[in-house]
Structure 1
Amino acid sequence: MSNIEQRKLGSQGLTVSQIGLGCMGMTVFTSGMEVYGASDESEAIATLHRSLELGVSFLDTADTYGPNLNERLIAKAVAGKRHRYTIATKFGYEIDADEQLTWQINGKKSYVKSAVERSLRALNTDYIDLYYMHRLDPNTPIEETVGAMSDLVKEGKVKYIGLSEVGSDTIRRAHAVHPVTALQSEYSIFERSIEEEGIIDTLNQLGIGLVAYSPLGRGYLTGSIQREQDLPPGDFRRNMPRFQGDQLMKNVTLANALGEMAKEKGISPAQLAVAWVLANGHVPIPGTRKVKNLEQNVAAAAVKLSMEDMRKLESIVPIGAVHGERYDATSMSIVGK
């Protein structure tokens, strides 16, 4: 029996399962780049089916993943049951006519309108539950991008809109054009910069929900990473400072200390990490393509953390304790703006 409940996401009327499923790793990210190792379609589809059985109906994807391969996989998995899932996808990184990523961010009105049509076709649906701007286009006013997203709501192609990895000023400006339902940002006991920067305070003031991606610290908080060789060849994490050299080993030490606390509580490190995000009132979307990992993550909904537990967790990994940036310099330059 699943312990998954429904949770209001933001204040615009969207309700989602309290834990979602991050689908990025279910397909190749782009040519030659794996995410968390090789993917297997049948295993991924089995995981998507099992998620619904467990009450995890909130799926997270993006047109970037593949490109569009991830959306097509989800379409295949949810066929005949689309109405039972809440599907979130994203646009922003430009995809050309040959379905190749250009790595340029495009938030222009004309591009938003073409991007949504491509995602609707890939997902084999006539509406998207939650449509995010994946990253802010520095060359297009946020008002233009969100104005185009607002048009999609009026046209019935999108139910709710969201933003991803932006700062408080952008959130406020966007929300003034059309009510924003959710912000998706990296958030875990390992990554709390949105707390430091006052972004969570802004969300609370405006009634916007937080969808926390990488709540397992991109694998650190599962206890599965003990050395660099634990990252598969070609894994994109090898390009992240947080997973390199001495910084990796220092972070492993922190993660292992959390693992000890999990052991004392009789739960897995992953369950402790997901439970921490839930206890803070947010919606975590741990990514996996394996049924056994999904089941373990879902069990976190039954974990109740006391105030003392929360204090202990946050003393083991205080804000700013993790070593290394979470992205390379280029990618860091476009988050939190």
Structure 2
Amino acid sequence: MPTILGREIGSIGFGLMGFTWRANPVPHSEAIKTMKCALEAGANMWNAGTFYGPPTANSIHLLQAYFTQYPSDAPKVLLSVKGGMNVAKHSADSSKANLTRDVDDALKILGGLKSIDIFQCGRVDPEIPIEETMEVMKGFVKEGKIGGIGLSEVGAKTIRRAAKIHPIAAVEVEFSLFSPDILENDVAATCAELGIPIVAYSPLGRGFLTGQIKTYADVTEQHKFGPRFAEENFAKNLELVETIRRVAEKKGVTSAQLALGWVRAYSGRDGNPIIVPLPGATKVERVEENCKLVDLTEEELKEIGDILKSMPVKGARVPKFIEHLAWA
């Protein structure tokens, strides 16, 4: 099993964003059932955010509700929390005051029910050198407020600079059939060299690879922020999804299981570091689907590789208004 901070974690992680960062948040009672299912299925690395929802009802509040109901589950979960963002301005805020407020508020909400195992800034603040941010976070570790420091949406140079200040527990970056960038931009190679695990967010292409989106009418308003869901790109990308679906059907698995299996296939392979996919799911049946591990053969990997070369994804990875924060 993969390890982070010396603790064993499941081969699949669990992202909590979808429960609270939406127009109609999932009721706590329903969310807690899904979270319990994830833990029982082995997905014990959970990722939350201080900005995943409004200040009075974000994913930290959901965690507080969960661990109030299941206090004995706290030591079973490796909890990663994102902060350091200014959502209103679509930007990062890694000032000492903002990071301190985020960490202290999260700890206050959790009320001692659960510790923060890893804390990371959601994006790199372009106004503050990463060394200064790391020194602040290093202070949190020394004070016992957090167990380790993570990085999110970072480039290889930033990873190297940050690692000189303090060991990095994990690097969270986008990695999927739709976004294989880390295999080409030195991020995976750098993490492998430094012994840093990668947590792959959006391993299902922000939902496109789940097989649940079949027509443009299925695209939500939130998805429409993503260039790959834009109407001018949608049809071509759906062709790719359909081609992947046929490969999955031939193997007797779902599109989501195939996509997660592809991400896992690169874990420790060809000089890559440990890679743990981090899908989000708000329903028990989706969690059960995602946690059924599927291994791909060399022939299947080649087939998928050939498909990706012949059918490149259309559209940018992130919306234009946050391009300046990508691979920082």
TM-score by length of 1: 0.89
1:288 to 2:274 alignment: no
1:49 alignment partner, SS class = helix
Checking the alignment, whether the CA contact within 8 Å between 2:91 and 2:322 is kept in structure 1 is: no
- Within the candidate set 141, 164, 167, 1:179 is matched to 167
CA 42–196 in structure 1, closer or farther in 2 if over 3 Å, else same: same
Checking the alignment, whether the CA contact within 8 Å between 2:170 and 2:199 is kept in structure 1 is: yes
Checking the alignment, whether the CA contact within 8 Å between 1:226 and 1:249 is kept in structure 2 is: no
Runs of 4+ with >4 A deviation? none
Instruction: Look up the match of 2:59.
Output: 70
CA 16–67 in structure 1, closer or farther in 2 if over 3 Å, else same: farther
1:88 to 2:80 alignment: yes
- Within the candidate set 7, 14, 19, 2:12 is matched to 19
Counterpart amino acid of residue 119 in structure 1 = A
Deviation of the 1:246 alpha carbon? 2.7
- Within the candidate set 2, 5, 14, 1:7 is matched to 2
Instruction: Look up the match of 1:154.
Output: 142
Instruction: Look up the match of 2:34.
Output: 47
- Per-residue CA deviations over 1:231-270 (Å, capped at 9, x if unaligned) read 23xx311122110113111000001100000000001111
- Per-residue CA deviations over 1:72-115 (Å, capped at 9, x if unaligned) read 112211231212211111111137xxxxx554421122322221
- Within the candidate set 51, 56, 60, 2:47 is matched to 60
CA 13–305 in structure 1, closer or farther in 2 if over 3 Å, else same: same
Question: Within 2, Cα distance between the matches of 1:197 and 1:56?
Answer: 28
Checking the alignment, whether the CA contact within 8 Å between 2:3 and 2:9 is kept in structure 1 is: yes
Sequence identity, in percent? 35
- Within the candidate set 203, 206, 209, 1:218 is matched to 206
1:17 alignment partner, SS class = coil
- Within the candidate set 242, 246, 271, 2:257 is matched to 271
Deviation of the 1:20 alpha carbon? 0.9
Instruction: Look up the match of 1:144.
Output: 132
Checking the alignment, whether the CA contact within 8 Å between 1:24 and 1:65 is kept in structure 2 is: yes
Deviation of the 1:194 alpha carbon? 2.0
Question: Within 2, Cα distance between the matches of 1:226 and 1:246?
Answer: 16
Question: Within 1, Cα distance between the matches of 2:171 and 2:207?
Answer: 22
Name stretches of at least 5 consecutive residues in structure 1 with no aligned partner. Answer: 1-5, 96-100
Instruction: Look up the match of 2:270.
Output: none
Deviation of the 1:199 alpha carbon? 1.0
Checking the alignment, whether the CA contact within 8 Å between 2:18 and 2:280 is kept in structure 1 is: yes
CA 15–154 in structure 1, closer or farther in 2 if over 3 Å, else same: farther
Question: Within 2, Cα distance between the matches of 1:181 and 1:188?
Answer: 21
Instruction: Look up the match of 1:257.
Output: 243
Checking the alignment, whether the CA contact within 8 Å between 1:214 and 1:285 is kept in structure 2 is: yes
1:333 alignment partner, SS class = helix
CA 330–274 in structure 1, closer or farther in 2 if over 3 Å, else same: same
Cα RMSD (Å) of the superposition?
A: 1.8
Checking the alignment, whether the CA contact within 8 Å between 1:63 and 1:71 is kept in structure 2 is: yes
Deviation of the 1:41 alpha carbon? 2.8
Checking the alignment, whether the CA contact within 8 Å between 1:146 and 1:177 is kept in structure 2 is: yes
1:327 to 2:318 alignment: yes
1:316 to 2:303 alignment: no
